[in-house]
Amino acid sequence: MSLAKIQTLLARLYTDAELRERFLLEPEKVCSENDLIGSEVEQIAQILPEELNFFAESLFYKRLREVEKLLPRTKEILSEEFEKYFREFSNSFLPTSIKKHLEDAIQFADFLLKQELKSAWLKDSIRYEQANLCFNGFGKKFLFRRFNFNIKEISLKGAQAQRKPSVAIWLRIGGKTRHFVW
């Protein structure tokens, strides 16, 4: 019996909605596709659908709340759409680094930037938050980003922000950090 194989399949079942649906319909087939046999199949097949779905939803909402904390401006602007987009994203991405929440937030920002969003200034706002996470989360010494909209105005005015190029620079010198926006 391979505990590692069972744990791997369980992790996938909790995070992959499509696989979870297939498992609930054909548990033996999904188990055999994942190299589980005999008693291993019986063990996993005993999981009740309600338990599986409840735990999967709990994990989803835990991830969502952590990403909301790291991308507060994006959450505020997207409002209810934030959760909808995150659900779509979370079905296709599972963080692997030791900084899972940070990786989740940065990759989610990438995902959002590929979507058809309601306004061009919103993408600049997302890119700004993502850059800030990259700088602070990974201990970078220097980061430069160019934006199509005035980043200062986006923070204050949102949709009324001027389409005027701006730049942001993050610097780390010794133990001090500096951040400039023009």
Residues 105-147: pLDDT tens digits?
999 999 999 999 878 788 999 999 999 999 999 888 999 999 9
Report how far residue 86's alpha carbon sits from residue 115's, in angstroms, rounded to the nearest whole number: 12
The set of long-range contacts for 54-60, using a CB threshold of 8 Å and a minimum separation of 24, is 55/14, 56/13, 56/14, 56/15, 56/17, 56/20, 59/14, 59/15, 60/87, 60/90
Report how far residue 14's alpha carbon sits from residue 30's, in angstroms, rounded to the nearest whole number: 14
Helix (H) or strand (E) holding 16: none
Which pLDDT tens digit goes with each residue over 6-37?
A: 888 888 888 888 888 888 888 888 888 888 87
Beta carbons within 8 Å of 163's beta carbon, 6+ residues apart? 120, 121, 148, 149
pLDDT band at 159 (very low <50, low <70, confident <90, very high): low
Which pLDDT tens digit goes with each residue over 52-91?
A: 888 888 889 999 999 999 999 999 989 999 999 999 999 8
Give yes or no for residue 157 having a pLDDT over 70: no
